[in-house]
Chains A and B, each alone.
Chain A
Amino acid sequence: MTDLLTRYSKIRLVYFWYAGRMFALALMLLIFTVWMKSVFPALGAVLFGALGCLWLRPGLRTSQKVRRLKEEAKTNEYEAPSMRKKALKMIAAAAIPVFLAWIAYGALNSDGLQSGLQLDRYSVQRMVQSGGDNYWNASYGKLSGYRQRRITLNEGTYTFAIEITTKSGDLNLSITGQDGKEYYKGSKLPTSAFQVQVDIPAKEKITLRVDAKGHSGGFKMKWEQFPIPGA
């Protein structure tokens, strides 16, 4: 009896597997139809739906047989756990690729995706950065979050030459002193080049900070003490 039951259960599973795949394809094409507002994916959806039904019919018939066998058989308890384990395995098998796809999506499209997958307080695509004693440049495909640099400036007047390239998104820039003194703050900077003069009363640590929201482009900053003391 259990031979019959396992045999027909397996056959039923294979029919439903093939039918299910066709219906999944049909569903995907249906989504495309709505998204692209085109008739061609709709035809494809109908085709795959039809194929799915052709496999569904023998599957349902076999399902009837299995149900009848289960009623006759009194040793159901032997079949139920293994079938349940198999069902759980299949659900896990389907869930893992979905999970991986979600991680991949998050990594590639980190536009502030609050999924907890970002490992830092900013996320960036394709950044080229360079910095030195008196300059800081960066250009990137997309930046979100903040980036900052701390530099030490002596007492005197410094001129910051700033160049911003904004292809899309928002970029804010601030130059802040040790005790929070705001030397400069610019918001939603467009593509531009400008100069900012900063008077430092005593040698202190300055924080240069950019805050970006999906900003595409880059920035260039360089600073010099100017006028040069004693000139």
Chain B
Amino acid sequence: MRDHVAGGALTETTFLVLLATYTPNHGYGIMQFVERVTGGRVLLGAGTLYGAIHTLLKKKWIAPVGNDKPGSSKKEYVITDLGKQVAEKELRRLEELYRLASRIMGGEPI
């Protein structure tokens, strides 16, 4: 899972996990969210998800949410401000691509 943040591109997995954590969510919840919103197109593997969550934690794009029940295995994660910045940057990049592709494929000369 290589995110070239300097180049601005996030992988689909990263972006989806970030979106899933706009509301606090735990591992299983993130898996289900991704499956639901992509209509089953993207199915996150448990191993992949574990790696993704830990990478995002390390990059401080998501943060763990304190639980009422200590020692609970249902650790929840929520997106941080930095994570939101990254996600918005990605949205702008995708919009730019979307507009460009629409114009070209719509037959507009560049």
The answer to the question of B47 belonging to the interface, with a C-beta cut-off of 8 Å to chain A, is yes
The bracket for how many chain B residues form the interface is under 10
Query: C-beta contact mask, B1-32 vs A, less than 8 Å → 1, else 0?
Result: 11000000000000000000000000000000
Name A75's contact: one of B2, B45, B48, B51 (CB within 8 Å).
Answer: B2
The answer to the question of A3 belonging to the interface, with a C-beta cut-off of 8 Å to chain B, is yes
Query: C-beta contact mask, A1-30 vs B, less than 8 Å → 1, else 0?
Result: 011000100000000000000000000000
Tell me the bound Cα distance from A75 to B2 in angstroms: 10
Is there contact, CB below 8 Å, between A3 and B2?
no
The answer to the question of A35 belonging to the interface, with a C-beta cut-off of 8 Å to chain B, is no
Considering the complex, which residues of chain B in the window 27-64 have a beta carbon less than 8 Å from any beta carbon of chain A? 45, 47-48, 51
Query: C-beta contact mask, A110-142 vs B, less than 8 Å → 1, else 0?
Result: 000000000000000000000000000000000
The answer to the question of A99 belonging to the interface, with a C-beta cut-off of 8 Å to chain B, is no
Of the listed residues A2, A3, A75, A78, the one surrounded by the most CB atoms of chain B closer than 10 A to its CB is A3
7 more A-B contacts (CB under 8 A) besides A2-B2, A3-B45, A75-B2?
A: A2-B1, A3-B1, A3-B47, A3-B48, A3-B51, A7-B47, A78-B2
Q: List 9 A-B contacts (CB under 8 A).
A: A2-B1, A2-B2, A3-B1, A3-B45, A3-B47, A3-B51, A7-B47, A75-B2, A78-B2
Interface residues of B (CB under 8 A from A): 1-2, 45, 47-48, 51
